[in-house]
């Protein structure tokens, strides 16, 4: 199961408990430790198709545990370049390593200014504390 | 226990099919079966034993107390089974001409009359196969009504309570409507201010269970009805909890325009391990033309199925509905006669008795008298001892009680939803109270006992994560079966 | 407490009211606002004791003409097949009869395993990978298949063969507006569906649904129809009769994506149209889009095999407005009747059942002195042309104690003189002789 609660400093966060690691004009997306903990052991990641468009603040996929299902909200807009097959094949990797092996998709950013709307780790910790 | 397929022996058999020695016509080669289905091959004796052993691993109302909230698990009288199997009912073909089905049509007509009386609405269709199909039928009737008035495109939203059963939002989607949720107050009533802000000319209607899914009667129901009717919208009554109010209050009198019943809840159709059910729908007079086709009509002393219904939504299932269910439910009603309200009165009495006796040992979600069911919360036990609603449910099994509904409604944390029904004697209720008190003590003194429960069932707790991750949904016959994961 | 099934004595009631802290039943209903209380007595006929009840129901039942008193050749979707005695014996076990959906698997291993075995049987018969625990009937499962196809393909057109049971088409059309689907029907040529016409209609369609055998009893070129659908990128859905699947090829073997149908002919009495069970089976690709319950195999804490409801996140109680269906209550008990019957028949019995029905249909075709409506291979039903309106033929034959079958003119234009005769293993060659004689007399 998952390790201790943790929110890396170098990521940008969305209040729906999603993170983005921005690298140039691309970004890797995933769900936060809080999100995976709230859902419990994940059994399925319903991934988008490569080439689909992720739209900021809208769902691009779903993650499921046995008794719950949750939309995965995109923190940024862009074309899906890659889906993490490991997260599809072994959804428990999302629980075990939400910021590493459990990343979900990689996108090409369509609007680089959107990143200004995202939260830094301090602001996201406030969101978590309010839950 | 072995699967029936694992007991199979090639060449063994039970049933014999008549062979009249007639030549069998050829099946075109391209259409003929190439490899036989691997059905079980057993002697009849062993088939009987297999299913008897499976029955032994199952728990029904006949086995013991079954207070599964929201499911109304009342006694299923065996006389209803007997009459449903009368050859004139069981062996009646649905395409039999109306004149050869007068008894069936009369029964349906009489059943409709009682249902209409209970709802306080004049017109009934018996066709829907279950409550959820009744919901969908009701929403389709709404759409047809608004289309007929030229408001079909304008009215695109259905409002449900945040405490609604999942079937309500799912039905809304299937009917092609948008969903809007309205909040409930701390007393468990619909929030009238929230409602006034949300109901407008785009609203097609409300779907509401009353008493609600937390077992409370909405004290503001008359105002709720006014809010919708003033905007030209309709009110749909989800009859899931009708067992609370039969003969005491009628949805039609509350202002509802469309009502569905669950014959398998309120009127004792046996639940059969998951079904069948029946979900008739009653409507106010001006909605009758939109009800599904066919409808039973009476002309003089004879009955017939009316198929020429130009404004009807059409057909929602095969034939005129689940007739065998009608036989059982009608028999149940006729055993009560005009005293049908005693059924609901006793259901409410039993629920309140349990609530009164348990509220010192468990947190109650709403501190007021309940209707036919009530919700306890294990939130405090979880905080203090790490004991969840699931642990309590599993421990109840060790005491020979079927667990209540858990984790529903979603608005109550660690919910245990308890519905005793009217058919239980006081000794059963007292025994349940004693068990629940014991479990509350065990939670404090020996939480591990609860976490390891059940200890006495044919299997221990099952790995649902494994089942969902790599679904095995059929026997593999020793082959590798593709899974959906 | 004079009537019904209540268990409390007056003394119980008084003690319980006291424990609650109220003085009367009326106090419990205080929360119902006064204007919406019902004060009168329900207008319901007087209560009946059990023996009176049985007598009354016997009188009602006696007003029906059932297939035990009239020699009936009615079919057209519901059939008078034999239901083995063990079916009732098993279905009347209270542990099955009076249980509900197995939400708590440790209490319900019996029904869970039985459903798993049922799912296996349906997959074996249809050649599919996954079956749900049952749908309402053979009509609503067609609407379910459309919902799956819409979401799987992103398309909104549904193609129905006109040779499908008319009520199947009616149900699909009732559901279609809510699903946002457009329905196109493809007519038949001499009683069967032309694959080329299906190919043309399937362009841009989510699914093509066709029957095998079809409503007229004729065998379709099902492999060609499935291929036509799939070439257009539509899902191929076969609506099949379980009693035919000992003889006819499994839909999975000729490329279908889904197989659906009415289960009544295996294990359920006719019961004036219900309750029965619909089956819905699909290739693995669609498992997460299936409606209704699915049982999966797993292990318990000790590593022993057990069964649970699985993939529940598809369902309404979790996914709510995004669920694959609103279904809760299904037809488990009827499906259990199907499983028991299939076990009783076994593979050999199922094949023999199909052969006997088919041989009787062949005998009827030969023996009845009326032209067949369609010169096609058939399974257990044959359509005949009558020299008088079929309705009148039925009326006159019934007066002689024989119901010769279903009037296709009820559903199809230009078929007012066509009667559909169904043969099950419960009819004998002598019964067919009698039918032939009666038809000869009333058609003269």
Q: What is the DSSP string of A60-129?
A: EEEEE-SS-EEEEEPSS-EEEEEE-HHHHH-THHHHH-TTTTT--EEEEES-GGGGGGSB-HHHHHHHHH
Task: Flag whether residue B468 sits within 8 Å of chain A, measured between CB atoms.
Answer: yes
Q: How far is CA C379 from the centre of its chain?
A: 18
Cα angle B143, B145, B148 (rounded to 5 degrees) comes to 105
The stretch A116-131 carries a mean pLDDT of 93
Asked if residue A83 lies in contact with residue A108, where contact means CB atoms within 8 angstroms, the answer is no
B-chain residues within 8 Å CB-CB of C336?
272-273
> How many Cα neighbours within 13 Å face the side chain of A52?
15
Interface test with B, best of C49, C328, C379 (most B CBs within 10 A): C328
Cβ atoms < 10 Å from Cβ of A128: 16
pLDDT tens digit sequence for A67-83:
889 999 999 999 999 99
- What is the least distance, in Å, from the CA of B468 to any CA of chain A? 6
Q: Which residues of B394-428 are buried (b: 16+ CB within 10 A; e: fewer)?
A: bbbbbbebbbbbbbbbebbebbbbbbbbbbbebeb
The set of residues, in sequence order, having a beta carbon less than 8 Å from that of C55 and lying 6+ positions away, is: none
Contact between chains at A44 and C312 (C-beta distance less than 8 A) = no
- What is the least distance, in Å, from the CA of A30 to any CA of chain C? 21
- What is the least distance, in Å, from the CA of B208 to any CA of chain A? 24
- Going by pLDDT thresholds of 50, 70 and 90, the confidence category of residue A2 is low
C-alpha span between B401 and B428 (Å, rounded):
10
Q: H-helix or E-strand containing B109?
A: helix B102-119
Q: What are phi and psi of B333, to 5 degrees?
A: -65, -40
Task: Flag whether residue C156 sits within 8 Å of chain B, measured between CB atoms.
Answer: no
C-alpha span between C259 and C257 (Å, rounded):
7
Asked if residue C423 lies in contact with residue C364, where contact means CB atoms within 8 angstroms, the answer is yes
- What is the least distance, in Å, from the CA of B444 to any CA of chain C? 24
The stretch C132-141 carries a mean pLDDT of 98
C-alpha span between C333 and C346 (Å, rounded):
20
Contact between chains at B407 and A67 (C-beta distance less than 8 A) = yes
- The pLDDT value recorded for residue A4 is 86
> How many Cα neighbours within 13 Å face the side chain of C82?
19
- The pLDDT value recorded for residue B481 is 57
Helix axes B341-358 and B426-445, enclosed angle (nearest 10): 30
- The pLDDT value recorded for residue C3 is 77
**Burial class of residue B150, CB neighbours in 10 A (0-12, 13-18, 19+):** exposed
Is the alpha carbon torsion for B301, B302, B303, B309 positive or negative? negative
The end-to-end CA distance of chain A, in Å, is 22
pLDDT tens digit sequence for B183-196:
999 888 999 999 99
Binding-face residues of C in 319-338 toward A, CB within 8 A: 319, 322
C-alpha span between C243 and C75 (Å, rounded):
13
Task: Flag whether residue C403 sits within 8 Å of chain B, measured between CB atoms.
Answer: yes
Interface of A with C (CB under 8 A): 44, 46, 64-69
| Residue linked to tokens 């009820």 | C410
Task: Flag whether residue C51 sits within 8 Å of chain B, measured between CB atoms.
Answer: no
Task: Flag whether residue B465 sits within 8 Å of chain A, measured between CB atoms.
Answer: yes
DSSP state, residue C34: G
Residue of chain C minimizing CA distance to B277? C329
Q: What is the mean pLDDT of each run of 10 residues along chain B (485 residues)?
A: 97 96 96 98 98 98 97 98 98 98 98 98 98 97 98 97 91 96 91 96 97 91 97 97 97 98 97 97 98 97 97 97 98 97 97 97 92 95 95 98 93 94 98 98 97 97 95 90 49
Is a pLDDT exceeding 60 seen at residue C18? yes
> How many Cα neighbours within 13 Å face the side chain of B401?
25
Cβ atoms < 10 Å from Cβ of B34: 10
Residue of chain A minimizing CA distance to C289? A46
Contact between chains at A69 and C313 (C-beta distance less than 8 A) = yes
Neighbours, chain B (3 or more CB pairs < 8 A)? A, C
Asked if residue C134 lies in contact with residue C144, where contact means CB atoms within 8 angstroms, the answer is no
Integer CA distances (angstroms), B235 to B190, B196, B340, B356, in order: 14, 15, 25, 33
Contact between chains at A69 and C288 (C-beta distance less than 8 A) = no
Task: Flag whether residue C43 sits within 8 Å of chain B, measured between CB atoms.
Answer: yes
Interface test with A, best of B166, B408, B468 (most A CBs within 10 A): B468
Binding-face residues of C in 205-244 toward B, CB within 8 A: 212, 219, 221-223
Task: Flag whether residue C109 sits within 8 Å of chain A, measured between CB atoms.
Answer: no
A-chain residues within 8 Å CB-CB of C322?
69
How many B-C residue pairs are in contact by the CB < 8 A criterion?
728
Q: Which residues of B110-145 are buried (b: 16+ CB within 10 A; e: fewer)?
A: bbbbbbbbbbbbbbbbbbbbbbbbbbbbbbbbbbbb
From the list A92, C132, C316, C124, the residue with the least C-alpha distance to B470 is A92
- The pLDDT value recorded for residue B411 is 83
C-alpha span between C187 and C371 (Å, rounded):
22
- The pLDDT value recorded for residue B485 is 41
- The pLDDT value recorded for residue B459 is 97
Query: B377 has which bridge partners?
Result: B363, B415
C-alpha span between B167 and C319 (Å, rounded):
10
Task: Flag whether residue C283 sits within 8 Å of chain A, measured between CB atoms.
Answer: no
Task: Flag whether residue B485 sits within 8 Å of chain A, measured between CB atoms.
Answer: yes
C-chain residues within 8 Å CB-CB of A67?
312-313, 318
Largest CA distance in chain B: 77
Asked if residue B32 lies in contact with residue C247, where contact means CB atoms within 8 angstroms, the answer is yes
Helix axes B389-398 and B426-445, enclosed angle (nearest 10): 120
Interface test with A, best of C313, C320, C321 (most A CBs within 10 A): C313
Task: Flag whether residue C421 sits within 8 Å of chain B, measured between CB atoms.
Answer: no
Cα angle C270, C275, C278 (rounded to 5 degrees) comes to 95
Contact between chains at A44 and B407 (C-beta distance less than 8 A) = no
Residue of chain A minimizing CA distance to C320? A69
pLDDT tens digit sequence for A34-74:
999 989 999 999 999 999 999 999 999 999 998 889 999 99
* pLDDT over 90, % of chain C: 96
Q: What are phi and psi of C119, to 5 degrees?
A: -55, -40
Residue of chain A minimizing CA distance to B466? A43
Mean pLDDT of chain C: 97
pLDDT tens digit sequence for C352-392:
999 999 999 999 999 999 999 999 999 999 999 999 999 99
Residue of chain B minimizing CA distance to C425? B18
A-chain residues within 8 Å CB-CB of B464?
66
- Going by pLDDT thresholds of 50, 70 and 90, the confidence category of residue C2 is low
Contact between chains at B468 and A91 (C-beta distance less than 8 A) = no
- The pLDDT value recorded for residue C440 is 97
B-chain residues within 8 Å CB-CB of A45?
none
Task: Flag whether residue B464 sits within 8 Å of chain A, measured between CB atoms.
Answer: yes
Contact between chains at B335 and C4 (C-beta distance less than 8 A) = yes
* Encoded tokens for B53: 């052993």
Paired sense of beta strands A105-109 and A26-31, if any: antiparallel
- What is the least distance, in Å, from the CA of B467 to any CA of chain A? 9
What is the C-alpha radius of gyration for chain C, rounded to an integer number of angstroms?
A: 25
Mean pLDDT of chain B: 96
- The pLDDT value recorded for residue C6 is 95
Cα angle B205, B208, B213 (rounded to 5 degrees) comes to 160
Contact between chains at C70 and B100 (C-beta distance less than 8 A) = yes
């Amino acid at each position: 199961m998952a390790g201790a609660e943790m929110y890396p400093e170098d990521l940008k966060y969305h209040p729906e408990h999603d993170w983005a690691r921005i690298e140039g004009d691309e970004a890797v997306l995933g769900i936060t430790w809080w999100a995976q903990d709230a859902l419990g052991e994940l059994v399925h990641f319903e991934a988008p198709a490569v080439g689909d468009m992720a739209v900021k603040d809208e769902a691009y996929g779903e993650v499921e545990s046995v008794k719950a299902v949750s939309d995965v909200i995109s923190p940024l807009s862009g074309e899906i370049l890659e889906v993490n097959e490991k997260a599809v094949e072994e959804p428990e990797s999302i629980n075990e390593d939400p910021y590493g092996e459990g990343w979900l998709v990689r996108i090409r950013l369509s609007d680089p200014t959107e990143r200004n709307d995202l939260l830094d780790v301090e602001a996201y910790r406030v969101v978590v504390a309010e839950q | 226990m072995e699967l029936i397929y694992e007991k199979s022996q090639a060449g063994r058999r039970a049933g014999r099919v008549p062979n009249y020695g007639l030549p069998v016509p050829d099946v075109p080669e391209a259409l003929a079966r190439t490899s036989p289905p691997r059905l079980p091959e057993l002697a009849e004796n062993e088939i009987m034993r297999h299913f008897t052993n499976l029955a032994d691993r199952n728990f029904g109302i006949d086995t013991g107390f079954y207070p599964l909230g929201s499911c109304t698990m009342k006694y299923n009288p065996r006389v209803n089974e007997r009459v449903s199997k009368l050859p004139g009912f069981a062996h009646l073909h649905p395409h039999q001409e109306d004149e050869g089905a007068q008894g069936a049509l009369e029964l349906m007509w009489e059943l409709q009359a009682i249902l209409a009386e209970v709802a306080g609405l004049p017109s009934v269709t018996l066709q829907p196969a279950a409550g959820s199909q009744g919901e969908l039928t009701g929403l389709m009737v709404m759409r047809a009504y608004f289309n007929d008035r030229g408001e079909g495109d304008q009215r695109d939203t259905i409002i449900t309570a945040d405490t609604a059963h999942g079937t309500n939002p799912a039905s809304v989607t299937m009917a092609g409507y948008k969903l809007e949720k309205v909040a409930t107050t701390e007393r468990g009533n619909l929030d009238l201010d929230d409602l006034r802000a949300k109901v407008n000319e785009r609203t097609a209607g409300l779907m509401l269970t009353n008493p609600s899914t937390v077992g409370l009667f909405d004290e503001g129901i008359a105002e709720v009805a006014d809010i919708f009717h003033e905007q030209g919208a309709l009110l749909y009554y989800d009859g899931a909890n009708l067992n609370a109010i039969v003969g005491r209050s009628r949805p039609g009198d509350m202002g509802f325009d469309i009502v569905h019943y669950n014959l398998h809840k309120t009127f004792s159709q046996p639940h059969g391990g998951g079904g069948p059910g029946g979900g008739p729908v009653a409507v106010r007079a001006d909605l009758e033309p939109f009800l599904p086709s066919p409808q039973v009509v009476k002309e003089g002393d004879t009955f017939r199925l009316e198929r020429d219904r130009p404004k009807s939504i059409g057909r929602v299932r095969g034939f005129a509905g689940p007739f065998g269910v009608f036989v059982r439910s009608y028999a149940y009603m006729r055993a009560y006669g005009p005293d049908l309200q005693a059924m609901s009165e006793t259901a409410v009495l039993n629920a309140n008795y349990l609530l009164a006796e348990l509220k010192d040992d468990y947190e109650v979600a709403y501190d007021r008298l309940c209707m036919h069911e009530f919700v306890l919360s294990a939130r405090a036990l979880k905080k203090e001892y790490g004991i969840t609603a699931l642990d309590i449910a599993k421990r109840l099994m060790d005491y020979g009680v079927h667990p209540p509904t858990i984790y529903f409604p979603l608005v109550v944390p660690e919910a245990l939803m308890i519905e005793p029904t009217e058919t239980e004697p006081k000794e059963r209720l007292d025994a349940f109270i004693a068990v629940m008190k014991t479990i509350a003590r065990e939670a404090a003194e020996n939480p591990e006992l609860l976490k390891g429960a059940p200890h006495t069932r044919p299997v221990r707790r099952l790995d649902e994560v494994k089942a969902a991750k790599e679904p095995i949904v059929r026997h593999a016959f020793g082959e590798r079966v593709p899974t959906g994961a | 407490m004079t009537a019904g099934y209540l268990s409390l004595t007056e003394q119980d009631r008084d003690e319980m009211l006291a424990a609650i802290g109220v003085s009367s039943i009326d106090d419990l209903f205080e929360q119902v606002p006064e204007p919406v209380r019902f004060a009168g007595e329900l207008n319901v006929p007087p209560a009946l004791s059990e023996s009176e009840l049985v007598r009354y129901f016997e009188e009602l039942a006696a007003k029906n003409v059932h297939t035990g008193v009239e020699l009936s050749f009615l079919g057209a979707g519901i059939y008078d097949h034999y239901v083995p005695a063990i079916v009732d014996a098993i279905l009347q076990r209270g542990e099955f009869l009076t249980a509900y959906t197995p939400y708590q698997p440790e209490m319900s291993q019996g029904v869970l395993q039985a459903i798993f075995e049922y799912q296996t049987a349906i997959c074996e018969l249809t050649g599919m990978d996954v079956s749900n625990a049952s749908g309402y009937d053979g009509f609503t499962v067609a609407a379910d298949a459309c919902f799956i196809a819409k979401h799987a393909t992103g398309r909104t057109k549904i193609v129905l063969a006109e040779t499908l049971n008319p009520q199947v088409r009616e149900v699909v059309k009732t559901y279609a507006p809510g699903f946002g689907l457009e329905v196109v029907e493809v007519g038949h040529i001499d009683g069967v569906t032309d694959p080329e016409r299906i190919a043309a209609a399937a362009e841009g369609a989510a699914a093509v649904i066709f029957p095998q055998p079809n409503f007229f009893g004729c065998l379709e070129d099902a492999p060609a129809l499935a291929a036509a659908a799939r070439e257009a990128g539509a899902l191929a859905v076969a609506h099949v009769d379980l009693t035919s699947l000992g003889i006819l090829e499994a839909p999975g073997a000729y490329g279908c994506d889904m197989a659906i149908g009415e289960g009544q002919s295996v294990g359920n009495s006719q019961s004036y149209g219900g309750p029965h069970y619909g089956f819905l089976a699909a290739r693995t690709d669609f498992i997460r889009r299936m409606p209704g319950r699915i049982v999966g195999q797993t292990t318990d804490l000790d590593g022993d095999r057990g069964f649970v409801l699985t993939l529940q996140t598809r369902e309404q109680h979790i996914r709510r407005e995004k669920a694959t269906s609103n279904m809760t209550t299904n037809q488990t008990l009827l499906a259990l009747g199907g499983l028991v019957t299939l076990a009783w028949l076994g593979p050999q019995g199922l094949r023999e059942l199909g052969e006997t029905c088919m041989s009787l249909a062949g005998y009827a075709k030969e023996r009845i002195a009326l032209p067949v409506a369609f010169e096609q291979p058939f399974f257990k039903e044959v359509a005949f042309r009558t020299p008088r309106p079929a309705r009148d033929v039925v009326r006159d034959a019934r007066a002689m104690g024989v119901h010769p079958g279903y009037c296709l003119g009820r559903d199809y234009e230009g078929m007012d003189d066509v009667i559909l005769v169904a043969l099950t293993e419960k009819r004998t060659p002598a019964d067919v002789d009698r039918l032939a004689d009666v038809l000869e007399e009333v058609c003269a």
